[in-house]
Amino acid sequence: MSNTNKNVDEAIARAKAAVREQASFAESCSDDGETESVEARESRQEAARAAKKARDEARDRIREQKKAEREAERSRKRTEREAKKAARALERARAQQNRAPAHMSKVEKAAAKLPQMNDDLSETFENLTDRYSVSDLSVLIAHLQLANRARQTLASHDVEFEEGQQVRIVSSENDASLIGLVGTVAEMRKIRVLLDVESVNKPVYLFAADCEALEEMKHESAKECDATPAPEEVTVDEETGFLAIESDDNDEEEHTGTDG
């Protein structure tokens, strides 16, 4: 028990003892048939007031003590929260130092969608990016895009597809992630073609030269198979009894002997 609580309990005990003493004195006077004197009544009332004052003071001290304890607890919790907040801020700062800037994540995602370059292109790319500044590369990219567009435009004049035809995307001016995908021709617009690609939500609009027909590739493979020489037919000549080998080119018959 703290000293404050001990002092409060002692004060309350003294006040109660004083009240009991006055009450006992008044009762003894009543039993003896004596009338309580004015001094005794005032003394009893004074003792009661003193006891009430002591109780009030004790109650106030208890209230102040509890208030101080609550303030101390709030201060402790506030200090703990501030310490945890500072620790989290320090941890975030360390994490920010150890990782790349947030905007670079978009660049990394875009790089992951690009098609692979061959060794020659990769070497040229590294030389250009190491040698030239950002402004120079921007100018170079603009000229390359224009040159590529011109070549695509010229190459697309002689390309014609039919609606429903299956084609493979071999190049793309705006979205390299489309390269290698297969689509169905939805509409042919002069040098442009509109494709429906299964993995893409909206129609894809490309130069006609950006696509190659899958059916033509199959047709060329079929031609190669047709060009293979047909096997020669072997028959038996009824007159001579020899085997006759006939070819599609109407060559002379070759005869070989038989045991029969």
> For residue 156, what pLDDT is reported?
84
Q: What is the mean pLDDT of residues 194-202?
A: 87
Q: What is the mean pLDDT of residues 200-218?
A: 81
**Per-residue DSSP letter, 170:** -
Question: Shortest CA distance to 198 belongs to which of 178, 214, 212?
Answer: 178
Taking the C-alpha atoms of residue 22 and residue 50, their distance in angstroms, rounded to an integer, is 12
DSSP 8-state code for residue 259: -
- The predicted pLDDT at position 243 comes to 46
Alpha-carbon dihedral of residues 198, 200, 201, 205, nearest 10 degrees? -110
What is the arithmetic mean of pLDDT over 206-220?
74
Domain ranges for the chain, please list them.
Answer: 3-95, 113-226, 230-260
**93-143 pLDDT tens trace:** 887 776 666 677 777 787 777 778 888 888 888 888 888 888 888 898 889
Per-residue pLDDT at 46: 82
pLDDT tops 80 at residue 22: no
Instruction: Report how far residue 171's alpha carbon sits from residue 178's, in angstroms, rounded to the nearest whole number.
Output: 8
Residue 215 binned pLDDT confidence (cut-offs 50, 70, 90): low
Helix (H, G, I), strand (E, B) or coil at 251: coil
Cα–Cα distance list, 171 to 54, 107, 176 (Å): 97, 21, 7
pTM: predicted TM-score of the whole model, two decimal places: 0.39
> 40 near 26, Cβ under 8 Å?
yes
CATH architecture of 113-226: Roll (2.30)
Mind listing the pLDDT tens digit for each residue in 51-77? 888 888 888 888 888 889 999 999 999
Check pLDDT > 70 for residue 147.
yes
Secondary element (H or E) of residue 216: helix 214-226
pLDDT band at 23 (very low <50, low <70, confident <90, very high): low
Amino acid symbol at 81: R
Mean of the per-residue pLDDT values for the chain?
75
